[in-house]
Amino acid sequence: MSQSFDVVVIGSGPAGYIAAIRAAQLGLRTACIEKWKTPAGQPALGGTCLNVGCIPSKALLESSENYERVMHKFKVHGITATGVKFDLPTMLKRKDQIVGKMTGGIAGLFKKNGVTWLQGQGRFVSGGTTWKLEVIGDTGTETIEAGNVIVATGSTPRTLPDAPVDNRLICDNEGALAFDAIPKNLGVIGAGVIGLELGSVWRRLGANVTLLEAVPTFLNAADTSIAQEAWKLFTKGQGLDIQLGVKIGKIKKGRSSVTVDYTDAAGVAHQSEFDRLIVSVGRVPNTQGLAAESVGLKIDERGFIEVDKNCRTNLPRVFAVGDVVRGPMLAHKGEEEGVMVAEIIAGQHGHVNYDAIPWVMYTAPEIAWVGQTEQQLKADGVEFRTGRFPFAYNGRALGRDEPEGFIKILADARTDRILGVHVIGGQASELIAEAVVAMEFGASAEDIARICHAHPSMSEAMREAALAVDKRALNG
């Protein structure tokens, strides 16, 4: 007899594994199907985020930042270090160990919560009062039954027709997290989040990095003032060569290099030779191998599974969460959806507030925001007041040698309700949490201004920016 579950989750990235754990916590008999294998052929949970995304990239960002600190930033503290070297294999091994700990941690969490891990590829077979699914594993195909299905099959890197990824010379995120040597000249197509984060890693370790970006403006999604500050810091300050408004032409792979033809914003033709090329031009939803069409699961023209605000698909008791559905492709957005869906299946009132999902770019300095940008508010005709406070006036920032950047709060001109918070500076990824809490609670700028913030701390800049909304910053 085939195994039967209340909930079967397909995919164990942050959206899927969190959905499975929450469903099991709520007393539902739950399984999670996952097909991922490590380069050594070991089955692994955690999806893109844990294996080749958020977690390994942050490990390398930290290692490369430490190297940059010791090489360029310690001097001002009176600390000199001679003979400093880095060992790339050790750096990569540390990253892999962190990944192993985290993915193994999910296996432990599954055990603790009673989630059954079914190893292999999941696909729909038929519907009815229960869903029939197949799990195609190494040793054969198993048919299982599910009362409810949560599709969490994630996304894959978008590719360019002229740039076939071999993860040796032309790399997607997976290859770019595992270079076996520092390229002398690294090309990156796409100056988005991956391009800037991984471009920064390899620049700090010694590569000349050129980013070729199609769009003529930098960091379109960010608040314009943040994008302008970031542009200054990343180009003049750090030496990233970012070309905007380019049109990529022929890409030719040689034996040990890649040649890229492109025209710049002025229409001038260039040819650049790179030891390695990263292609980071966005990601596409992944529904391959699901047999979605066999059961009539609706997929939109861009490849996303169609869902309503509660992540319900067009099929009864089939939900979809994470990168495979609309909304930002962020781990924490998928996690929220996973929890919401599990709670709905259990008869509760799950809910995601899509207006309060933070964005973070782990560059140095970090960039983080939540809510609306100034340009969005202007386009919507919303009247707002702005409070801005620079880290250069914050004692903790100076002590940490992180005077760059600022916090900017946008508040409704009439009600003072916070509409958006934008940070560029040290610890922005942590500072933004206060803004998310404030927005979730419908706080006004004055609410933050009246809260006692520890001194000296970077978070005081948040309070000062809130005071600045009312033109009464105390320290600047």
| Smallest distance from ligand NAI to CB 106, Å | 19
Nearest C-alpha neighbor of 14 from the set 387, 330, 241: 330
Instruction: Classify residue 239 as exposed, middle or buried by CB count within 10 Å of its CB (0-12, 13-18, 19+).
Output: exposed
Q: Assess 11 for contact with ligand FAD (CB under 6 A).
A: yes
Amino acid identity, residue 438? A
Which residue bears the tokens 């996303």? Answer: 304
Q: What distance in Å separates the CA atoms of residue 438 and residue 58, rounded to the nearest whole number?
A: 26
Considering only 7, 99, 122, 179, the residue that binds ligand FAD (CB under 6 A) is 122
Q: Which residues are within 8 A (CB) of 99 and not within 5 positions of it... i.e. 6 or more apart?
A: 46, 50, 51, 55, 56, 59
Q: Is the CB of 205 or the CB of 377 nearer to ligand FAD?
A: 205
- Choose among ligand NAI, ligand FAD, none what residue 47 binds, the Cβ cut-off being 5 to 8 Å by kind: ligand FAD
Contact 295, 126 (CB under 8 A): yes
Size of the site for ligand NAI (CB under 6 A): 24
Q: Is the CB of 366 or the CB of 464 nearer to ligand FAD?
A: 366
Q: What distance in Å separates the CA atoms of residue 161 and residue 390, rounded to the nearest whole number?
A: 44
- Choose among ligand NAI, ligand FAD, none what residue 282 binds, the Cβ cut-off being 5 to 8 Å by kind: ligand NAI
Tell me whether residue 422 is one of the annotated catalytic residues.
no
Which residues within the stretch 433-472 sit at the binding site for ligand FAD (CB under 6 A)?
none
- Choose among ligand FAD, ligand NAI, none what residue 14 binds, the Cβ cut-off being 5 to 8 Å by kind: ligand FAD
Spell out, one character per residue from 312 to 331, where the chain touches ligand FAD: x when CB under 6 A holds, - when not. ----------xx-----xxx
Q: Assess 278 for contact with ligand FAD (CB under 6 A).
A: no
Contact 387, 465 (CB under 8 A): yes
Q: Which stretch binds ligand FAD (CB under 6 A): 33-41, 90-98, 101-109, 378-386?
A: 33-41
Q: What distance in Å separates the CA atoms of residue 293 and residue 458, rounded to the nearest whole number?
A: 51
Considering only 20, 24, 33, 191, the residue that binds ligand FAD (CB under 6 A) is 33
Q: What distance in Å separates the CA atoms of residue 154 and residue 101, rounded to the nearest whole number?
A: 21
Q: Assess 79 for contact with ligand NAI (CB under 6 A).
A: no
Which residues within the stretch 321-380 sit at the binding site for ligand FAD (CB under 6 A)?
322-323, 329-332, 334, 362
Considering only 16, 120, 192, 405, the residue that binds ligand NAI (CB under 6 A) is 192
Q: Is the CB of 34 or the CB of 402 nearer to ligand FAD?
A: 34
Q: What are phi and psi of 84, to 5 degrees?
A: -70, 130
Q: Is the CB of 261 or the CB of 446 nearer to ligand NAI?
A: 261
Cα torsion angle, 212, 367, 70, 87, sign: negative
Q: Is the CB of 327 or the CB of 387 nearer to ligand FAD?
A: 327
Nearest C-alpha neighbor of 387 from the set 316, 279, 275, 464: 464
Q: Assess 281 for contact with ligand NAI (CB under 6 A).
A: yes
Q: Which stretch binds ligand FAD (CB under 6 A): 43-51, 243-251, 374-382, 383-391?
A: 43-51
User: Quick one: the chain helix, strand, coil %, rounded to 5?
Assistant: 35, 25, 40
Strands (E), 301-440: 318-320, 359-361, 366-371, 384-390, 406-412, 418-425
Q: What distance in Å separates the CA atoms of residue 157 and residue 280, rounded to the nearest whole number?
A: 7
Q: Which helix (H) or strand (E) holds 230?
A: helix 224-232
Q: Is the CB of 190 or the CB of 322 nearer to ligand NAI?
A: 190
Q: What distance in Å separates the CA atoms of residue 122 and residue 115, rounded to the nearest whole number?
A: 16
Considering only 60, 102, 131, 154, the residue that binds ligand FAD (CB under 6 A) is 154
Q: Assess 13 for contact with ligand NAI (CB under 6 A).
A: no
Considering only 290, 377, 397, 423, the residue that binds ligand FAD (CB under 6 A) is 290
Q: Assess 280 for contact with ligand NAI (CB under 6 A).
A: yes
Q: Is the CB of 67 or the CB of 262 nearer to ligand NAI?
A: 262
**What does the DSSP 8-state code read for residue 43?**
B
Considering only 186, 318, 342, 361, the residue that binds ligand NAI (CB under 6 A) is 361
Q: Is the CB of 338 or the CB of 387 nearer to ligand FAD?
A: 338
Q: What distance in Å separates the CA atoms of residue 211 and residue 277, rounded to the nearest whole number?
A: 10
Contact 420, 237 (CB under 8 A): no
Question: Which is catalytic among the residues 72, 77, 422, 455?
Answer: 455
Size of the site for ligand FAD (CB under 6 A): 37
Contact 356, 345 (CB under 8 A): no
Residues near ligand FAD (CB under 6 A): 10-16, 33-36, 47-49, 53-54, 57, 121-123, 152-155, 173, 194, 286, 289-290, 322-323, 329-332, 334, 362
Active site residues per annotation: 455
Residues near ligand NAI (CB under 6 A): 160, 189-195, 197, 212-215, 248, 280-283, 328-330, 360-362
